[in-house]
Amino acid sequence: MNKKLLRRDRIGLLIEGVIKDGVFIAPSISERQVVYGPVKEASEITFDYIIPRNSFKDFLFPQTEPVARFKAEKDAVLLEEVKPRPKETVIFGVRPCDAASRASLRSVFTWDFKDEFYTKREERALVITIACTKGDDACFCATVGISPEGSAGSDILLRETEAGDFTVEKVTGKGGSFIDAHPHVFEDSVSGCALKEIFNPEPIGGVNLEKIKEWLKEKNHYENPLWAELSRKCVGCGACTFVCPTCHCFDIIDEGTYASGERRKNWDACQFEYFTLHASGHNPRDTQYKRWRNRFMCKFNFYPEKFKSIGCVGCGRCVRVCPVRLDITEVMAEISGQPGQGGS
């Protein structure tokens, strides 16, 4: 394929074409923050952002959705299966860290049992990523091995030029077909487009991912008093979990009555006190440090070991949104600095 260019003033045409039968998701400003959401016109899109507040998992795995409906009639219960029929969705303006979370979500939602609520949405999604030309002190993608111009999880990768347009790189076959299908939008590019400099995140001092993984593998480190110390200020909300691109825990609940109602799948967070509460009253994770420890271990031990996937993409959303600024990179640095195997 020849080198392609996407002019900023052509994006409107792209949106027009997509929203005929599908949905175009892009970052826009809402209530003083940049969020991913459906747009109808190019003027709604903002390009001046580091990363939207929400992750694009919102569109592959919604906060709440019905999975079944039931109704009691005479002696029987009628069960209606809910079949999601997602529209073709273009998610535009994704950052490389977000895109990298796709593999993690896919690995858990297809583990033996295929969750079609996720897979059908993912099949119909086209991810257009824009490489990062700026960041802030909460970004730490490079520390976890993700590049600010990485293409993992994207279908198309855009890089911004000094002129404000984008060079276009096809990453997957699906991305290629999309580019071919919109020749009036993705033009052949002339050589010599000066690219804006890609953001170079400072590596977080003292953080060593390998050391962390080794330390976490030691079973007796699970009881280390460091966990309580580092997570003491955690208030136990779900803000970090809900904005995180790789967090996917959910709850299944019934709404309504026996006579008629709905079964829904809703986001849930291991940070909530009653997440693991048994009906008997026993709660394996009854204090906040145990819950926080679970979150950290899940990201840096359970998921990498189980699924060989990344549990944390370094987007920094949890750091920005935490009401008490409990910074996961500070915990990573503390653990990296702990004595190794056999130590305390």
Partner 1 sequence: MAAEHDLKKKAKELLTKGEVKVVIGFGWNRAGTRTTPVFITRPEDTDRLVFNPLCVNNLSLYLTRKFKDIQALGRPAIVAKGCDIKCIAVLISEGQLKREGVYIIGMTCEGVVYRQELWAGMNPCTRIPEDIMPTKCHNCDVRNPHISDVTIGEKSIFTPPEKPAGMVFDRIKEIDRMGAGERWDFWMEHFSRCIKCYACRQVCPLCYCERCITEKNMPQWIETSAHPRGNLSWNLTRAMHLVGRCTFCGECERACPVNIPLNLINQKMTLIVKDAFNHSPGYSTEVHPPMIVFSPEDKEDFIK
Partner 2 sequence: MDNIYLPRIVKIEDIYEEAPDVRTYRLVFEDKKHAESFSFRAGQFGLYSAFGCGEATFCIASPPTRKGYIQCTFRKTGRVTSALSELGVGDAMGFRGPYGNHFPVEEWKGKNILFIAGGIGLPPVRSVIWTCLDRREDYGDITVVYGAKKVDDLIYKNELSHWEEREDITLVKTVDPGGETPDWKGKVGFVPIVLEEAAPRPDNCVCVICGPPVMIKFSVKVLEKLGFDGDCVYTTLENKMKCGVGKCGRCNVGDVYICKEGPVYTAKEIKRMYNDF
Q: Which residues bind partner 2 (CB under 8 A)?
A: 67-68, 70, 72, 75-77, 79, 81-83, 108-109, 111-117, 120, 219, 222-223, 248-254, 256-259, 261, 263, 265, 268, 270, 275-280, 284-285, 290, 294, 297-298, 301-302, 305-306
Instruction: Please list, in sequence order, all residues whose beta carbon lies within 8 angstroms of the beta carbon of residue 6, skipping any fewer than 6 positions away.
Output: 14, 158, 165, 166, 167, 168, 185, 186, 187
Query: Between residues 124 and 285, which has the closer beta carbon with respect to partner 2?
Result: 285
243 binds partner 1 (CB under 8 A): yes
Contacts of partner 1 in 52-91 (CB under 8 A) = 53, 63-64
Burial label, 252 (beta-carbon count in 10 A; 0-12, 13-18, 19+):
exposed
Rounded Cα–Cα distance for residues 5 and 334 (Å): 45
Select the residue interacting with partner 1 from 12, 17, 38, 236 (CB under 8 A): 236
Select the residue interacting with partner 1 from 21, 31, 48, 223 (CB under 8 A): 31
Rounded Cα–Cα distance for residues 245 and 58 (Å): 9
CB of 232 to partner 1, least distance (A): 5
258 binds partner 1 (CB under 8 A): no
Query: Between residues 37 and 304, which has the closer beta carbon with respect to partner 2?
Result: 304
* Number of other CB atoms surrounding residue 243 within 10 Å: 22
Strands of 250-256's sheet, edge to edge? 76-81, 64-73, 260-267, 250-256
Query: Between residues 14 and 240, which has the closer beta carbon with respect to partner 1?
Result: 240
Contact footprint for partner 1 (CB under 8 A): 30-33, 35, 53, 63-64, 137, 228, 232-233, 235-239, 241-243, 251, 253, 255, 264, 266-267, 269, 272-274, 287-289, 321, 323-327, 329-330, 333
